[in-house]
A and B are shown apart, each in its own frame.
Chain A
Amino acid sequence: MELLGQFNYWVFIVLMMTGFYVVIARGNLVKKIVGLNIFQASVFLFYISMGKIFGGTAPILIEGADDTVIYSNPLPHVLILTAIVVGVATTAVGLSLVVRINEAYGTVEEDEIQQLDEET
């Protein structure tokens, strides 16, 4: 772990920007939501990386262990557990909106939807 330095954080940034690019550059609404998921998961990676302690173990108390046992920080884990579940809930709402848009317009491509809006 000592080798890594800030490598995890750089990967987090690369992934986050990949997701960001998909969200703003791609016109397909399903792809946009996949991009949003990439973005979201990269933030999870960032938080969990911050909670890691070199030489530590998972934050589950070991019975009879002495004080030398190091536990990684449990707080980011809790926050991210909540965030994962909330993330799926928002994904579900987003996808249901995509299905609804597809019913109304017959397409999930952003520019085609815009064109149809301008025609009416």
Chain B
Amino acid sequence: MLVSVVDIILLAFLVVTALAIVRLRNLFGVVMLSGIYSLLMAVIFTLLDAVDVAFTEAAVGAGVSTVLMLGTLSLTTNQEKAPTHTRILPLIVALVTGATLIYATTGMPRLGDPNAPIHHHVAPRYINESGTEVGVPNIVTSVLASYRGYDTLGEVTVIFTAGIGVMMVLGRRRAKPKPGEKRREAAEDGKAEDAA
């Protein structure tokens, strides 16, 4: 009961934050609100028993993302231009898509239902066997590093590719890009060269 009330309040905060992001035109404020959004999301994840996800979201979503965006704002602008004309079509598209998705949820199992199909596939095996098969108390760790290790390898590949991408986009004119802090330094160098 109490959990439900807290959940509803937090989700309401989340919606308010998202709508404020749409309305606000000061980009610094938008970035701060997106940090708050991530933090609220992390609290909701804790409430929904996903503790590992919660601290990753708090560290990576609210921390690293915000820093990256602030870096971008310092290199670009922190004020969004006022829209020249009202855009009604995107609103209609979003509303229609939303209505379709809400219609789709009528076929979904209720929240927290232990008989939902998602809980009867591979999850029982992870929960029952990972203690003896892998030997780590945290089931999420067992699945991440052992049962679905290839997924994690794929994740590392994606991050590596993204790192190369950022270096190629921003560090082109630099002879030897230094590891770490490459994004901002390289971009600032680029700016300095442009000014010169």
The total of chain B residues at the interface (CB under 8 A) is 97
Q: Contact check: which of A8, A71, A99, A100 meets B11 at CB < 8 Å? A: A8
CB distance from A56 to the nearest CB of B (A): 6
Give the chain A neighbours of B75 by CB distance below 8 A: 99, 102
- Residues from chain A with a CB closer than 8 A to the CB of B61 are 37, 41, 84, 87-88
Which single residue of chain A is at the shortest CB-CB distance from B119?
Answer: A73
Tell me whether chain B's interface is mostly helix, strand or loop, or mixed: helix
Q: Across the A-B interface, how many residue pairs have beta carbons closer than 8 Å?
A: 287
A42–B159 alpha-carbon span in the complex (Å): 21
User: Main SS of chain A's interface residues?
Assistant: helix
How far, in Å, is B43 (CB) from chain A's closest CB? 12
Q: Is the CB of A22 within 8 A of B49?
A: no
> A43 to B159, alpha carbons, bound, how many Å?
20
How far in angstroms is the closest Cβ of chain B from A52?
5
Q: Is B179 an interface residue (CB 8 A)?
A: no
Interface residue? B177 (CB, 8 A): no
Instruction: Tell me the chain A residues, 72-120 only, with Cβ under 8 Å from chain B.
Output: 72-82, 84-93, 95-100, 102-103, 107-109, 111-112
- In the complex, the answer to whether B69 meets A61 with C-beta atoms within 8 Å is no
Query: A1-48: which residues lie under 8 A (CB-CB) from chain B?
Result: 1-11, 13-22, 24-28, 30-31, 33-35, 37-38, 41, 44-45, 48
Listed from nearest, the 4 A-B pairs whose CB atoms lie closest are A54-B112, A89-B162, A25-B90, A72-B49
**Chain B residues near A (Cβ < 8 Å):** 1, 3-4, 7-8, 11, 14-15, 18-19, 21-22, 27, 30-31, 34, 37-38, 41, 44-45, 48-53, 56-57, 60-61, 64-65, 68-69, 71-73, 75-77, 80-81, 83-84, 87, 90-91, 93-95, 97-98, 101-102, 105-106, 108, 110-114, 116, 118-119, 122-123, 126-127, 130-131, 137-140, 143-144, 148, 151-152, 154-155, 158-159, 161-163, 165-166, 169-170, 183, 187, 190-191, 194
